Structure formats: C-alpha cells, structure tokens
Amino acid sequence: MDATPLSEQVPSSVGKDQQTETNSQPSRMRAIVASSLIGTTIEWFDFFAYSTAAALVLNALFFPTYDPVVGTVLAFGGIAVGYFGRPLGSVVFGHFGDKIGRKSMLVISLIAMGGATFAIGLLPTYEAIGVAAPILLMVLRFVQGFALGGEWGGAVLMVVEHSPEKKRGLFGSAPQSGLALGLTLSTLTFLALGQLPDDDFASWGWRIPFLLSATLVIVGLVIRLKISETPAFKTLRESGTRVDMPIVETLRNHWKPVLLAALCFANVGAIFYALFTFSITYGTTYIGLSRNTMLLVAVACSVVAFFGIPVAGVLSDRFGRRAVFMTGIVLTIVIAFPMFWLIDSGSVLLTVTGYLLATVGFCASYGTLGVLYAEAFTVSIRYTGMSLALGIGTVLGSAFVPIIYLELLSIFDGSWAISLYIVLTGVISVFAVRALTADQG
C-alpha cells in the first residue's frame, strides 16, 4: 500500500492548525472553491469552444483541400494533439507542484491556457497563410493540452487539501463541475453566434468564444493570486520531507496506481465524447437534427451534470468514492445500447431522453474522479501522480475517441459499434477501480 488517507497525511500540529484555520473560515473555503471552479470552467470552455468549432467550421477553414468528412476527422485530430500535450504537462506541472507548491503552478497553467486559446481566436486561416494555418492551430492545441496537464490536478488538490474530511467529496466535485459550466457557457455562446449569417460566422463569428476566454482568465487569476497554499503542502514543506524528484519517485515506486487510475478513466472518456462533443456531429450528420437542436441537447446535459456532479460528491462522502464511481460506470454500461436506440429514433424528445439517461451515469463517475485520484497517492507525489494518471488516461481513453467513433460508424454503419465500445471501456474501468482500491488496502 503506497497511499494513506488524506486525513492521515497532515500529521503534525502545524498541519492540524492550518486545517482548522481553513475550515473555520467559510469565506476562505468559498474563495478556494471558486478559484478551482473558475479554472476548470476556463479549461472546459476552451476545450468545448474548439470541439464545437471543429464540428462546425474548422474543417473548411483550416483543412480545405480535403473532402468534408476527412476535414472533420483532421479538425478533431486537434483534440488528439491537445491530449498528447497533457502527459508532458502533467510531468512538468506535477513535478514542480510537488516541489514548489500547488498555487504557483495553477497560476502558470492558467496563463498558458488562456494565452493559447486567445491566440487561436486570432489565427489566420488556410486561405490567408496556407499550410502554416493548420500547423499553428495544432501547436496552439498542444500548448492548451500542456497547460491542461497541470491545471486539473492542481485545481482538485487546492480544494481537496483544504477541505474538511467529511466534506471532501462535495468540495472535491467543484473542479469537476467546471466541465458542465464551461460547456454551458461555450454552447450558449455558439448558439447566439449561430444566429449570424453563415458567411459571417465562418469569417469572424467562430473566433469570439476564443477571444472571450480572456475575460475568464483575468477573473480566475485575480482570485487565484489571493488564495493560500494548501495545509498539506505547507506541512510537507515545513517537515522537510519533500521528495527531490517527484516524477522519478512516482514512476519508480507508484507506477501501479498511476496505471490503474489511468485505466479508470477509460469509460469516463468514452461516454464524455458520446454526450458532449461527438454528439453534435452525430446528431447533425447521421440523425438529421439541426445544429441548434444538438447544441440545446448539449446544454440540457450540461445543466443536469452541473447539479448531478456535486450530488455524486455528497454521496461519495457517505458511501465511499469507489461505490459511487463504480455505480456510474455500471449505469453507463447498462444504458450504452438503449441510449442510442433512443437517439437513433430521430425524435427530439427521445434523443434528449437518451442523452440525459447517460448523463446520470457520467455524473456519478466523473463527479468522484478527482477525490478518487487524490486519495490514491501520498501527499509528497500527489500532484504528479494524479496529473500523470489523468494525462495517460486521457490519451488512452479520450484522444482518439471522436475519430474512433467516426471510423466505427463508417465501417459498421451503425451506432451499435459505438455502444459496444462504451461497454468494453466500462468493463476496463470497473476492473481498474477495483484493483486501485485493493491496492490502497
């Protein structure tokens, strides 16, 4: 067993005093939660802005020499490029987050993410600068992914390591709720821009969401600069027990929980894309629903997720992380085929029902993921361990999922292949979380 409960990892009187001080000031806890929520909201706003633009317009603007289907695949390839930056970002940010502190890494990751996103909004298209346009787009996507590799782990730890033990699941779900809030803001923005004439949207309208992210970055930085370092890291620093090379220590002695935690993400990534990004392409191209209809479906799912994710956090405080996480995975497995039966009906009402049913399972697994990861690693390598696990998990379980779904539809000409893929990833995640929990003792 290489990990101990978080409550046992602040053993000194200094750590206890710091924890008590934090817990006794609700306003400080609210600021910490707001900081993490805003950070992950920006992360997901940027992610969904790219994913939505990729499904709607980037294929024609940056890959015009290919047919529409291939262009869409290449545009979605930008998602994969972003995910390849995540493991590297997790190594760099995790290493220094465990050596220097959580707060400083969060500030740097937010600036890098915001800068890359803003630059995408200013990027010339293929028509203006030729092949340099898609190359620069992929470079900026890589920078986004690199920053994301450090953002999520630090945001979760800032909340979890400040939280009262009995509310760790609730507060730890706040960064996860950023997904729903970021999706809602991004989708509503694209819905508003969808009222523009097609030519205006293609020429300048699609850029607005990327440029607007600068506002969120400024707000996030103002809050982040005011919050304090976590009690757990302060205690680690004052005790003189920090690890000299956290990444080396993690890979040498903690590789098993990193791998298992990464595999836990397999089903989370699969259902995430079915719900929130690939759904736009599938609904408009294969089902025949309008773009605005599918964007509204995405908003409905994100609203349910925004409220469902903290509910999952509360339930995990009562019943345990493993139980709630596994419940979500099992629900996803059960609904995988019925979900697409409803969606393929072509009825808007049944389509919404199918997506909302799958959202319930997603809330249970994703809502508990942050605390599940945090409790899998000791404080000295926690930032590195959980960031690296998510980085690897997203490459294995998310990077190619939109492309895989498109290929499955092309080869098998039916959504049943996607449902089967979701079921198989669910089985992997169930076995991984059982082994991860057993490894913790």
- pLDDT, tens digit (0-9, with 9 covering 90-100), for 241-263: 788 888 889 989 999 999 999 99
Amino acid in position 5: P
* pLDDT score recorded for residue 432: 95
Under the banding of pLDDT at 50, 70 and 90, the label for residue 110 is confident
The share of the chain scoring above pLDDT 70, in percent, equals 89
* pLDDT score recorded for residue 73: 57
- The pLDDT of residue 413 is above 70: yes
Planar angle of CA 320, 314, 367, nearest 5 degrees: 80
* pLDDT score recorded for residue 438: 41
Helix axes 13-23, 26-53, angle to 10 degrees: 80
Per-residue pLDDT tens over the stretch 262-318: 999 999 999 988 887 788 888 888 888 887 888 888 889 999 999 999 999 999 999
Task: Please indicate whether residue 383 or residue 61 has the higher confidence score (pLDDT).
Answer: 383
* pLDDT score recorded for residue 171: 92
Residue 101: left if φ>0, alpha if ψ -120 to 50, beta else—which one? left
Q: What is the dihedral of CA 170, 172, 176, 177, to 10 degrees?
A: 40
- Across the chain, mean pLDDT equals 83
- The pLDDT of residue 47 is above 80: no
Tell me whether residue 176 is in a domain: yes
The DSSP symbol for 346 reads -
* pLDDT score recorded for residue 351: 92
Under the banding of pLDDT at 50, 70 and 90, the label for residue 20 is very low
- The pLDDT of residue 360 is above 50: yes
Tell me whether residue 410 is in a domain: yes
C-alpha–C-alpha distance, residues 235 and 101, integer Å: 11
3-state SS, residue 181: helix
CA distances to 74, 275, 429 from 69, in Å: 9, 20, 31
* pLDDT score recorded for residue 408: 92
Tell me whether residue 1 is in a domain: no
CA distances to 95, 161, 222 from 32, in Å: 22, 10, 12
The share of the chain scoring above pLDDT 90, in percent, equals 32
- The pLDDT of residue 70 is above 70: no
Judging by beta carbons within 10 Å of its beta carbon (0-12, 13-18, 19+), is residue 381 exposed, middle or buried? buried
* pLDDT score recorded for residue 370: 92
Per-residue pLDDT tens over the stretch 193-208: 878 888 888 888 889 9
- The pLDDT of residue 6 is above 80: no
CA distances to 10, 104, 158, 176, 238 from 14, in Å: 8, 22, 18, 30, 9
Amino acid in position 106: L
Per-residue pLDDT tens over the stretch 390-404: 888 888 887 788 889
- The pLDDT of residue 213 is above 70: yes
* pLDDT score recorded for residue 305: 94
How many structural domains is the chain composed of? 1
Question: What domain range includes position 137?
Answer: 6-440
Separation of CA 61 from chain center? 26
pTM of the entire predicted model: 0.82
* pLDDT score recorded for residue 79: 62
* pLDDT score recorded for residue 232: 85
- The pLDDT of residue 1 is above 80: no
Per-residue pLDDT tens over the stretch 126-161: 888 887 888 888 888 888 888 887 888 888 998 998
Whichever domain contains 194, its CATH number is 1.20.1250.20
* pLDDT score recorded for residue 55: 67
Task: Please indicate whether residue 332 or residue 78 has the higher confidence score (pLDDT).
Answer: 332
Tell me whether residue 136 is in a domain: yes
Count Cβ neighbours within 10 Å for each residue of 296-309 and write b for 16 or more, e otherwise.
bbbbbbbbbbbebb
* pLDDT score recorded for residue 440: 43
Under the banding of pLDDT at 50, 70 and 90, the label for residue 186 is confident
Residue 288: left if φ>0, alpha if ψ -120 to 50, beta else—which one? left
* pLDDT score recorded for residue 65: 65
C-alpha–C-alpha distance, residues 116 and 187, integer Å: 20
